[in-house]
C-alpha cells in the first residue's frame, strides 16, 4: 500500500519540482498559462499569482471554513501597501486616489477576520484591483456575503481575479491596469457531493440576482486561461466544472 509520503513524492514528480508539497492538498489553487506568467506568493490567509505587467494579481485563492467565517478581528484603519514578497514593480495606495476606481479586495478582509496577520496582509496591493465602487459594494460584496453563508455548511474553496483586455486602461503613476471584468469560482463538498460554479461580472454596476452572472467553471477557464481546482481527482474535476447549477448554491 502507498503511504501518504510516497504518494506525495509521486505527485511531486508529476507536477514538477516547483510544486510545493503543501499545494498537493490545496484545492483552491489555480494554474496559469506560461504565457501569462505570474509570481506565486503565499500569505497567511491566501495565495496569489502576481502579474507585474498589470500591477495586479492574475488570481487570488483561499479557503473559507465555518470557523474562519466566525472571526472577530476588526478591519484596520490603514492604507494599502506594496507586498514585501513581490519582486518587481507594484501598485501603491496613491495610484488609486482620485482615479475614479475603488481599491477592490480580491480575497476580502471579511474572510480574514480569523487572524490579525491574515487581515493585515489582505491590504497588500497585490490583493487589490481597480473596481468601480458600484461593483465593489454591489454584486461583488453580495457574492462575498453569500460565500460566508455557504461556509457555515463546510469548507468553500475560492479563486477570483481580473479579466484584463489586451490594451487596458491604466491608472496612477505605476500604470495599474483596469480590468474589464472580474471572475470568481467556488468549489465545495455540499450535502455529500462535490460541486463547483463560476461567476463573471463586468467592471460596472451590475443589477439583478447573482444567478444572472453564473457560468460553469469550464467557461470561466476558457475566458481566463486559468486551470482551477486541478488538485481534485480528474473524474470529479471534469464532472463538476462542466455544470452550472445555481439552485445547488442557494
Query: Which sequence positions are flagged as catalytic?
Result: 105
Contact 125, 81 (CB under 8 A): yes
DSSP letter at 203 equals S
Whole-number Å distance between alpha carbons of 66 and 60:
20
Closest CA to 80 of 120, 43, 47, 40: 120
Whole-number Å distance between alpha carbons of 44 and 27:
16
The CB density around residue 116, as the number of other CB atoms within 10 Å, is: 14
Q: In sequence order, which residues have a C-beta less than 8 Å from that of residue 12 and are 6 or more positions away?
A: 19, 21, 24
Closest CA to 43 of 21, 63, 15: 63
Contact 27, 231 (CB under 8 A): yes
Joined together, the cell numbers standing for residue 127 give 490583493
Amino acid at each position: 500500500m502507498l503511504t501518504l509520503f510516497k504518494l506525495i513524492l509521486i505527485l511531486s514528480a508529476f507536477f514538477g519540482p516547483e510544486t510545493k508539497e503543501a499545494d498537493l492538498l490545496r484545492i483552491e489553487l489555480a494554474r496559469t498559462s506560461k504565457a501569462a506568467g505570474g509570481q506565486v506568493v503565499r500569505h497567511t490567509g491566501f495565495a496569489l499569482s502576481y502579474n507585474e505587467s498589470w500591477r495586479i494579481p492574475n488570481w487570488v485563492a483561499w479557503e473559507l471554513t465555518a470557523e474562519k467565517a466566525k472571526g472577530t478581528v476588526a478591519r484596520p484603519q490603514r492604507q494599502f501597501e506594496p507586498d514585501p514578497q513581490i519582486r518587481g514593480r507594484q501598485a501603491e495606495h496613491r495610484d488609486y486616489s482620485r482615479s475614479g476606481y475603488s481599491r477592490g479586495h480580491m480575497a476580502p478582509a471579511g474572510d480574514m477576520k480569523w487572524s490579525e496577520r491574515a487581515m493585515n496582509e489582505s491590504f497588500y496591493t497585490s490583493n487589490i484591483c481597480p473596481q468601480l465602487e458600484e461593483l465593489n459594494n454591489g454584486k461583488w460584496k453580495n457574492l462575498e456575503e453569500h460565500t460566508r453563508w455557504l461556509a457555515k455548511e463546510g469548507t468553500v474553496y475560492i479563486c477570483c481575479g481580473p479579466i484584463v483586455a489586451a490594451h487596458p486602461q491604466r491608472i496612477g503613476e505605476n500604470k495599474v491596469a483596469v480590468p474589464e471584468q472580474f471572475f470568481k469560482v467556488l468549489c465545495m463538498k455540499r450535502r455529500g457531493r462535490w460541486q463547483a460554479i463560476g461567476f463573471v461580472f463586468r467592471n460596472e454596476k451590475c443589477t439583478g440576482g447573482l444567478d444572472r452572472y453564473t457560468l460553469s467553471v469550464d467557461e470561466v477557464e476558457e475566458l481566463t486561461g486559468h486551470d482551477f481546482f486541478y488538485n481534485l481527482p480528474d473524474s470529479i474535476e471534469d464532472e463538476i466544472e462542466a455544470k452550472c447549477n445555481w439552485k445547488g448554491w442557494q
